[in-house]
Amino acid sequence: MYDVGWLAWLGLAPLLVILNGKSPKHGFMLLFASSIVFYPGILSWLLKVPGYTLLHHVILAIYIGLYFGFFGLIFCFVAKRSGVTAAFLSTPFLWVSLEYIRSNMSFLATPWGMLAHSQYTYPWVIQVASITGSYGVSFLIVLANTALAAIIYPATLQLQKNKNALNSPPSRLGKILLVTVATALIVTTLIYGHIIISQPVEAQRIKVSVVQGNIEQAKKWDRRYAKFIMKRYADLSLEASKDAPSLIIWPETTTPWSIMQDPRLHGEVKGIARTAGTYLLLGSSQRQKFRSQGSKKGTYYNSAFLIDPGKEMHTYQKYDKIRLFPFGEYLPMKETIPWSFINIPDVSGYEPGEEYTVFELPNFRFGVTICWENVFPDLVRQFVKRGAQFIVNITNEAWFGRTAAPYQFVSMSVFRAVENRVSVVRATNTGVSCFINPYGRITGRVEKNGKDIFIPGYLTQEIPLSQGKTFYTLHGDIFVYICLILTAVVMLSSALNPREKAIRR
């Protein structure tokens, strides 16, 4: 994976230059086509998922392309009706609004490839997310690109044969306003980031160990490998216990089948926790993902269990996954949409959990997200709002092979740490298992010979326990709601403008 996040600060400017002066229809087609070429590459790892085909990837690309197409359409519509300056000034608000809608569109939510995620290695830049959420970082990036486009656009006019009011640059006042506001906000953000990360994290600390078993996906649900799987995790956990952690964490669906269905397996897990002498958090599920229900119907949960080494056999705390993965853990709207028409089977049949469980131990509290739940900012903040002092993300990314998927998930987890100013601990089957501090720095990961995926191992670190709540934790996406309102106002104002006023800059 290549981290070239600095390119995001100027990569959008040429597209805005090209877009300016186009009709709404041409603007839609230009951005739609650009997305069709660009976005499937970001999610190419989905092609590793069983049953996911090239046809499905094309459909996904078309769906996501519509959001970018609407950006081009609305930008050009505003430029035509309200002037080029209004279009440029409204661009960051429009971009954030569409990112938010795309990220929260029910079972069609696709919160990947946000501009903010490109900045996960720049702690100074991303601290503003504790106020605005990650969308504030996207806003700054688009604002910087818009200011750059306004600066370079006059030079491009010299190359254009057909000059008209629609492909003229923003007004001089509009350009000054864009550059001034962009500079002021970026400088303020960097100063704020510097001040925040310069402060030491003064808080109670606990030791936590993450265990990465590196079990091949083909073996995870094969009972012939059950003893091998449990021995792998038992051995690694006993090694980790030598560091005297307060908590050992295993990944999502660690056990070969559910500990709720097999008392013997439950007893074995309890024995490992007792031998290690510490609490054990693990994922255990009743059914494999991406699997057709066939004739076997039932109610299944993807769960996290906290095993107490000192209490009775069946004493545990449990969290059932709330945000299920569509088309992998359940089939959305299957009563009304004939998914079989595009070769999507009736999968898994999981049921969502209903409670944001905060696990309670004598000296600390934490929340658990399972698999892709960590990509949803509001879901994570609900745990912190309810008292979680750090977040654990347990996941199994063996499905995606040696691709960029694990690193994309890490980049998004960085923002969950910053937004809520809490540590995030990731425990994955094949990697990347890591620790992220409240400032978004990755402070350690399970590694071997320079590799951090598809290797077994464990890592123990001390993490701080959060004592307060950020503005974002308390109030959520207020910044986004402002962007949505302003975008709606600009669109309505443009719709009410007569066409002949388009010549205004």
371 is catalytic: yes
Contacts of residue 403, defined as CB under 8 A and 6 or more positions apart, other chains included, come to: 44, 45, 48
The residue from 22, 175, 270, 321 that is catalytic is 321
Distance CA 159, CA 200 (A): 53
E-state strands within 226-357: 247-249, 279-285, 302-307, 316-320
Cα-atom radius of gyration of the chain, to the nearest Å? 25
- Whether the upstream peptide bond of residue 432 has omega within 30° of 0, thus cis, is yes
The residue from 99, 252, 373, 419 that is catalytic is 252
- Taking alpha carbons only, the member of 192, 93, 101 closest to residue 140 is 93
> For residue 73, what are its two tokens?
């359409």
Whole-Å CA distances, 249 to 67, 103, 207, 344, 428: 38, 29, 11, 34, 9
Whole-Å CA distances, 283 to 238, 358, 422, 446: 18, 15, 22, 19
> For residue 251, what are its two tokens?
């990944």
Q: Is 184 exposed, middle or buried (0-12, 13-18, 19+ CB in 10 A)?
A: exposed
The residue from 76, 371, 434, 483 that is catalytic is 371
Residues making up the chain, counted from first to last: 505
**Which amino acid is located at 103 in the chain?**
S
CB 70 within 8 A of CB 98: yes
> For residue 367, what are its two tokens?
């929340």
Please give the DSSP secondary-structure letter assigned to residue 224.
G
Beta bridge partners of 147: none
Contacts of residue 234, defined as CB under 8 A and 6 or more positions apart, other chains included, come to: 272
252 is catalytic: yes
CB 64 within 8 A of CB 102: yes
Beta bridge partners of 320: 303
Beta bridge partners of 428: 395
- Taking alpha carbons only, the member of 163, 252, 181 closest to residue 211 is 252
**Which amino acid is located at 84 in the chain?**
V
Distance CA 316, CA 309 (A): 10
CB 90 within 8 A of CB 488: no
Please give the DSSP secondary-structure letter assigned to residue 402.
S
- The catalytic residue positions are 252, 321, 371
